[in-house]
Amino acid sequence: MNYRHAYHAGNHADVLKHWLLTRCIALMQKKSAPIAYIDTHAGIGLYDLQGEEALKTDEWREGIARLWGSDQPLLVDYLHAVSELNDDDELRYYPGSPELVRCLTRSQDHLYLNEKHPTDGQLLKENMRIDLRVTVHLGEGWHVPRALLPTAEKRLLMLIDPPFEEGDDLQSCVRALEESLARMRQAIVCLWYPVKDVAQLRRFYQQLQKSSAPSLLRVELYVHKPDDATRLNGSGMVICNPPWGLEDELRQLLPWLAETLQQSAGGWRLDWLIAD
Ligand SMILES: C[S@@+](CC[C@H](N)C(=O)[O-])C[C@H]1O[C@@H](n2cnc3c(N)ncnc32)[C@H](O)[C@@H]1O
């Protein structure tokens, strides 16, 4: 387990993933019934962009820094959550998915977070200790669907966000999706993945299309042409059972986001792998 998210916090991939999470929560909260949020690979929850790791890569400068100060209406919730961590207008702290969701959820909602790395797991516990709605587990992320589902709350948002250090993480994502749907068919499940090796991704899409998912919306955002499998050309999220209204919002924001975050090239894709 070499991956540490502190090197990548706030990069273009975090922006897409975290903006999508923000919108899923906002759209789910149109109803008052409690929501459970599960993060199978949670990280530490909160990142210092002036910390040693973040400064080593400076990835956030091509990510959240490019959005900072924007008045784009669909970014209001997301940027507000980030600004709550920062004094004045200076961008220094960035929320990982646990802290972002913690800020956006209500008293009736619950968060179940899992992180396997022992040091990062302890940091996550410390960062979340003030909030009684949060439970932190320090176990294997791939066991989470079997261990925690079904949740007491009937409405579930789950993020599956592994580090992709292992060659079979894409297949493990499909298996985790299947295991989750077998226990909670109505769950909203978000699978994050890097856009690197296009041939590998093609197999991933085929496996997803053969899955038992009732619906799967695919979103991808590119900051380079996807023609070099050794670099992070972009990122994607497959959303099972996306909340009503998300597709429209994506269609509105993706062109702007692709233009704002592009590096050597920019682009996006939005389509259904399995239509509703
Ligand atoms: C991409 S990061 C998560 C980022 C986080 N979801 C966010 O958006 O802020 C992946 C995390 O998975 C953890 N991890 C790696 N292997 C794991 C495993 N088998 N089970 C659970 N967590 C694991 C890593 O330590 C790392 O913190």
Q: 65: exposed, middle or buried (C-beta count within 10 Å: 0-12, 13-18, 19+)?
A: middle
Q: What local confidence, expressed as pLDDT, does residue 263 receive? A: 97
- Does ligand 1 come within 6 angstroms of the Cβ of 99? no
Q: Spell out the residues 6+ positions from residue 267 whose beta carbon is closer than 8 angstroms to its own.
A: 221, 222, 225, 234, 258
The helix/strand/coil state of 221 is strand
Distances in Å between the alpha carbon of 195 and those of 100, 200, 229? 24, 10, 8
Residue 276: the pLDDT is 81
The tokens describing 174, both together, are 């499909």
* Distances 136 to 21, 120, 262 between C-alpha atoms, Å: 19, 11, 35
Residue 129: both structure tokens together: 């200790």
The atom number, within ligand 1, closest to the CA of 43 reads: 27
Q: Active-site positions?
A: 161
pLDDT tens, residue order, the chain (276 aa): 789 999 999 999 999 999 999 999 999 999 999 999 999 999 999 999 999 999 999 999 999 999 999 999 999 999 999 999 998 789 999 999 999 999 999 999 999 999 999 999 999 999 999 999 999 999 999 999 999 999 999 999 999 999 998 789 999 999 999 999 999 999 999 999 999 999 999 999 999 999 999 999 999 999 999 889 999 999 999 999 999 999 999 999 999 999 999 999 999 999 999 998
C-beta 95 within 6 A of ligand 1: no
Q: Distance (Å, rounded) from C-alpha 241 to C-alpha 214?
A: 7
* pLDDT at residue number 1: 78
For 140, the token pair is: 């294997």
Residue 128 exposure: Cα atoms within 13 Å on the Cβ side: 29
Q: State the pLDDT at residue 167.
A: 80
CA-wise closest residue to 226 among 264, 196, 187, 193: 196
Residue 192 CA, closest ligand 1 atom number: 1
Q: Of 5, 60, 170, 235, which is best to mutate to test ligand 1, by the most ligand atoms within 8 angstroms of its C-beta?
A: 5
Determine whether the shortest distance from the Cβ of 161 to ligand 1 is under 6 A. Answer: yes
Mutation choice for ligand 1 from 21, 111, 117, CB with most ligand atoms inside 8 A: 117
Indicate if ligand 1 lies below 6 Å from the C-beta of 115. yes
Task: Write phi, then psi, for 188 (nearest 5 degrees).
Answer: -90, 115
Q: How high is the pLDDT of residue 201?
A: 96
Task: Tell me if 79 sits within 8 A of 135, measured CB to CB.
Answer: no
Query: Does the Cβ of 267 fall within 6 Å of ligand 1?
Result: no
Please answer whether residues 104 and 62 qualify as being in contact, where contact means their C-beta atoms are separated by less than 8 angstroms. Answer: no
CA 165, CA 8: separation in Å to the nearest integer? 14
- Structural domains in the chain, CATH included, are 5-274 (3.40.50.150)
